[in-house]
């Protein structure tokens, strides 16, 4: 058996993918494609973002969030300079895809409010640069 096949066999039996402390490939590809062609990035123009993640562990997305913020900042997206970790538990998300836990919803709403403040704060600068 070739070495790569020996590696892939036990790895392919895993139920979840790991991204080596980075972001999922699909997300990274979407970000990369949105940044092309050069000079026509959809990320340009002072966009804002809030980065969070969920996993079974307490802070399992910490390094992936840090990496994603670095990628977005490089592309000119203003990210909230905060960290947010959500422990995924059964019942956190209902069948309609809504956050079912009131405490989690309130926790995230605080970040959404901060993102709205950041966006509002940056809007005058964006309008001045367009004039």
Is 0.85 topped by the overall pTM? Answer: no
Cα separation, 89 vs 58, whole angstroms? 11
When mean pLDDT is compared over 21-25, 58-62, 93-97, the highest value belongs to 93-97
φ/ψ of residue 79, rounded to 5: -105, 150
Q: Topology of 20-130 in CATH? A: Rossmann fold (3.40.50)
pLDDT band, very low/low/confident/very high, at 118 (cuts 50, 70, 90): very high
φ/ψ of residue 78, rounded to 5: -85, 115
Cα separation, 55 vs 71, whole angstroms? 21
Q: What is the pLDDT of residue 17?
A: 58
Domain limits, the chain: 20-130
Q: Read off the pLDDT of each residue in 57-77 and give the average, rounded to a whole number.
A: 91
Closest CA to 64 of 56, 55, 77: 55
What tens digit of pLDDT does each residue of 11-54 get?
A: 555 555 567 888 988 899 999 999 998 889 999 888 999 999 98
């Amino acid at each position: 058996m070739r070495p790569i096949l020996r590696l892939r066999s036990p790895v392919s039996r895993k139920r979840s993918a790991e991204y080596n402390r980075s972001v999922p490939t699909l997300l990274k590809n979407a970000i990369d494609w949105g940044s092309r062609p050069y000079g026509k990035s959809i990320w340009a123009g002072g966009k804002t973002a809030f980065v969070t993640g969920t996993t079974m562990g307490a802070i399992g997305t910490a390094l992936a969030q840090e990496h994603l913020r670095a990628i977005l900042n490089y592309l000119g997206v203003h990210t909230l300079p905060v960290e947010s970790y959500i422990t995924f538990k059964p019942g956190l998300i209902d069948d309609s895809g809504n956050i079912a836990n009131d405490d989690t919803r309130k926790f995230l709403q605080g970040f959404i409010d901060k993102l709205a403040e950041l966006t509002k704060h940056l809007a005058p600068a964006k309008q001045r640069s367009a004039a």
